[in-house]
Amino acid sequence: MNQSTTTKPTTFRWTIVGLLFLATTVNYLDRQVLSLTWKDFIAPEFHWDNNDYGNITALFSIFYAASMIFAGKFVDWMDTKKGFLWAIGVWSVGAVLHAFCGIATSGIILGDWFVSFEGAKHNIATVKDVSRVINVSVALFIFARLILAIGEAGNFPAAIKTTAEYFPKKDRALATSIFNAGATVGALAAPISIPFIAQALGWEMAFIIIGALGFLWMGIWIFYYKKPHEHPKVNEHELNYINQDIDKTIVEDLSEPKTTFTLAQCFKYRQTWAFAFGKFMTDGVWWFYLFWTPAYLSSVYGMDSTQSAFPLFVLYMITLVSIVGGWLPTYFVEKKGMNPYSGRMKAMLIFAFFPLLALLAQSTGKVSYWFPVLIIGIAGAAHQAWSANIFSTVGDMFPKKAIATITGIGGLAGGIGSTIINKSSGLLFDYSHKAWTTVDGVPLLEKFPQYAEQRLPEGFFEQLQKSGAVVSDGIDKGYMIIFSFCAVAYLIAWFVMKSLVPTYKIIKE
């Protein structure tokens, strides 16, 4: 039982939100280390191309989505304290494992396991069979991403569960918005820290240092977290505030039949298909921007990871505008008298128009790289506003007992969409890099037909340019195709969702 019984209510619940905020920040930092180091540091060592990186990011997306279905049940089973520790412990191990992929590649191919990071790099450079280096290293990174994805999938369910323990219903949206801001802060901190760590200490240390943050958080969580009624820093007045909904909850639980929604039942409803399709079409857009923007600035504008740090920081700063996503539907409901679903869908339609700016990313980029940076930032903010509302449509129409299951279905659909766009991007960028590039006005593959089925040698374009050839890289056309899909994905999703569920209809089964 808590020991603090002073007259003034304590506010310890906000300290708990601070811990959730830090966990979410670390979550996004760990997720972005690869995207900010592969192009300049990892690809030259392992001979990767865009397709190799696309395979890794595509599989991470599907691992993460599949894990989301089970993560909530795992956290419920282990309970909050142990569930969160397992989640962040697993993803921190996964993050650190990336650093040892070079040593493991050296060990598997050459049998030399007990080497330093530099020693492994030297060993790999002596291997003549480049394809084996690629295959082994990609497989090892995929395994590390699998561990990372399994752990990271537990962050959101554990944070939501903690919020429900420490806050009454009326404050949970605010608490959730605060800890969820850690995603943006993590995205902001990543480009101004990770590339510089990699440059100074090696890409391996970037994974180790950022991964170690999770273990530090675990130490705080172990000694700081207890249930509200057991915590000495929560006094009676704060506990009464936290538990103000308890009587209502008891009434709701008694009035609601003790049944669950099976997966088969969920798929009977158009609302499920509408939500799943919306996630399928749009989740991949956000993952594309997150995973491929550093490579875009490198491939099209020749920036290394330190040069792109400030533009990426500005890009993610713009996404903070997405807080409007939570305010606008409330305005439509409270001021315009619309029902929750109609107000939310109207807000989502407005947000769906902003990504159309991505159609201008390539053409305006010829003037300055700042134009595509700003455009991607605006599109990212629109996505976050859209995402906040599409999740809420589930609660608008489904009973509480079905929300976790429906959300898991949508997460899986979004993961499948993310897998497709990441894999397609890698294939398309490598194809356009060769098939649509010209050298002195002649298509590259006409001039060098031997590379139709072979990888281009590292530094091939740089060598051509040094010899005086005029090279026009076709990869920008590949990016234009993906940007075009990203631009229209939200409007397509909105119209399909609206067609499936034209009016507000609550499911009461």
SS (H, E, C) 229-243: HHCCCCCHHHHHHHC
Name the pLDDT band for 254 (thresholds 50, 70, 90): very low
Question: Are the CB atoms for 499 and 278 separated by under 8 Å?
Answer: no
Amino acid at the residue 240: N
What are residue 311's phi and psi, to 5 degrees? Answer: -55, -40
Question: Are the CB atoms for 148 and 91 separated by under 8 Å?
Answer: yes
| H-state helical runs in 153-168 | 155-166
Q: Is 387 exposed, middle or buried (0-12, 13-18, 19+ CB in 10 A)?
A: buried
Over range 379-384, report the average pLDDT: 90
How many Å apart are CA 481 and CA 487, to the nearest integer? 10
pLDDT the model gives residue 154: 86
Question: Are the CB atoms for 351 and 278 separated by under 8 Å?
Answer: no
Name the pLDDT band for 255 (thresholds 50, 70, 90): very low
For residue range 298-351, list pLDDT tens digits in order.
989 989 889 999 999 999 889 878 766 667 877 887 788 888 788 888 989 999
Residues 6+ apart with CB under 8 A from 420: 58, 284
Using DSSP's 3-state secondary structure scheme, residue 438 falls into strand
Neighbours of 447 (CB within 10 A): 14
Of 247 and 456, the one with more pLDDT = 456
Beta bridge partners of 443: 438
- With CA atoms as reference, report the closest residue to 141 among 218, 28, 63: 63
Name the pLDDT band for 401 (thresholds 50, 70, 90): low
Neighbours of 503 (CB within 10 A): 9
Would you say how long the chain is, in residues? 509
pLDDT the model gives residue 222: 93
Residues 6+ apart with CB under 8 A from 326: 173, 177, 385, 388
Q: Between the CA of residue 175 and those of 1, 167, 206, 393, what are the distances in Å?
A: 24, 8, 31, 19
Sheet arrangement for strand 438-439: 442-443, 438-439, 471-472
How many Å apart are CA 328 and CA 269, to the nearest integer? 27
Name the pLDDT band for 79 (thresholds 50, 70, 90): confident
Indicate the pTM of the whole model: 0.81
Tell me, rounded to whole angstroms, the distance of Cα 94 from its chain centroid: 16
